[in-house]
Structure 1
């Protein structure tokens, strides 16, 4: 099996699980109205992750249609060409650019709301638990509009920087295409996500350390009657942001290997590609698993509902009137 096609399959599975996990998070959020602002930001971050996964699904299906399907048909016909490449028009077409734009924008939305969540979390720990209306508007601008304007994604599309990557460190889906020089590609890769991703790593680490310091010193400034409830609700969110670092780090490692022309074995390269394919597509699914494991009351509530439904169904199969008639 081709290396990129194996990576596409892994990414397709993890992306599908992310879409399902994200939908379940949205359902739980919509039927449960007892949420604070951090939980709302967590949902906003998940929206970016679900868009990201959906774009990956489209990109992997496109890769199958353009390469695997074409190559298989070529062998059936009996031609000598493996047909593992297509024309530049197909590799940089509207679908490829559209998928690149969606995944780029979605990843930046996820990074932006991760930073918003972290900053708000730290302000919670400092006692500023009620953000002003202006700060909320700023967070929405940073979370939804800034990824388009500041990172110049639309300009990247217009100059042809987004498309398919056919390089040694390429991936099955479309993102930043091969351009005239390596330096230009590195620049567009940084602007289209890697710089903001690394910046998010740094912010995550710094705020995580500060929050853990406040937790250990027991300096959460809140009313005494709400301290326990607030502690339970906000102490889990620093770990949610660590998820971003743990599942996205493999793509960052491959990026630095490309930047510094590092030589790695084929086995290491394959493992990194597979781990990147799994990690990049699994963000929303990992968020869902994290949400369940850090919300025991929610798990107990839904488990209780499932058991009640089973009891009601089993009880409805036994009609007490029939039993009474038979006894007579």
Structure 2
């Protein structure tokens, strides 16, 4: 494996990845804000989604800084950025799988108590394991400049490290591979269970089964369960392809299209989650639309009736004109 090469990151690739980072930052922020604003939506699955969004939010920030700088050496900010993105990205993998496990236990096993008891375990694994791996990599001087061979401008595992493949696996790739295997299996099992339950319900409640509203909600849930693992794999597969090409020392890993897809895919998870779990969720979409309309109407009303200081009530509550009327 050659370690002296360097993948050139073009301006167009930088712009595309920075836009992707911005969308993920905004998407993750929207998920967090909706959770804070509307307490009645604070279910456990959405709480887990907020934790995932925190990881994606931090990941988007660190990747944005890295692709903006396009590092060319083991500088202090390169190591810091590489450590933050390593922790956030690995944590994102764990939280993505944690949500799937929670839904499996809650829906398929029909055990809410067990599912809720797993949340503490999810915290321990999804925060502590990435932190321990990142600290170990930092202490052993494994994080730094990687010549964009398996990144797009940002820093990750030092390309000069003799055991770089091992640390690339530990700091991300092995968890990525496990997610590729785990997510489709869990969501297929959840989908099968929902289809069987819906079929049984339809047999005894034909009116409900023929209800357009019920069919609409079921179809949307079914599409989401299908899209979650597909979107994850579609976004992440490009970084996996480049990693495998690096293992065989193929120059194809430096292809500009592949580099751009890698950069956009790695930084789009927050935006994809926002689209699926906010914009494609009818109750949240309705509330956001209402809030937006309210702001628009308020701004229009203020434009129609601009603020006039001369009509401001005094401490006693009378306007100047009223005071003149009272004294006459």
**TM-score range for the pair, normalised by the shorter chain length:** 0.7 to 0.9
Is structure 2 residue 42 aligned with structure 1 residue 60?
A: no
The alpha carbon displacement at 1:211 in A equals 1.3
* Matching residue within 188, 212, 215 for 1:209: 188
1:291-310 equivalent positions in 2, closer than 5 A: 291-310=277-296
The change in CA–CA distance for 1:296 and 1:233 in structure 2 (over 3 A counts) is same
Partners in 1 of 2:249 and 2:243 — Cα distance? 10
1:1-328 equivalent positions in 2, closer than 5 A: 3-6=8-11, 7-33=13-39, 34-63=41-70, 91-126=73-108, 127-131=110-114, 134-149=117-132, 152-166=133-147, 168-181=149-162, 184-218=163-197, 236=224, 239-262=227-250, 264=252, 269-315=255-301, 317=304
Partners in 2 of 1:299 and 1:309 — Cα distance? 15
Q: CA RMSD in A?
A: 3.1
Deviation sequence 1:82-120 (CA, Å, 0-9, x none):
xxx6xxxxx112211111110000011111111111111
The change in CA–CA distance for 1:238 and 1:129 in structure 2 (over 3 A counts) is farther
**TM-score, length-scaled by structure 1:** 0.77
The alpha carbon displacement at 1:190 in A equals 0.5
Counting matched residue pairs gives 284
**TM-score, length-scaled by structure 2:** 0.77
The alpha carbon displacement at 1:311 in A equals 3.7
Runs of at least 5 residues in structure 2 that lack an aligned partner in the other structure: 1-6, 205-213, 307-328
Conserved in 2, the CA contact under 8 Å of 1:100 and 1:174? yes
- Mark the structure with the bigger radius of gyration: 2
The alpha carbon displacement at 1:318 in A equals 6.1
Runs of at least 5 residues in structure 1 that lack an aligned partner in the other structure: 67-84, 86-90, 320-328
Conserved in 1, the CA contact under 8 Å of 2:149 and 2:253? no
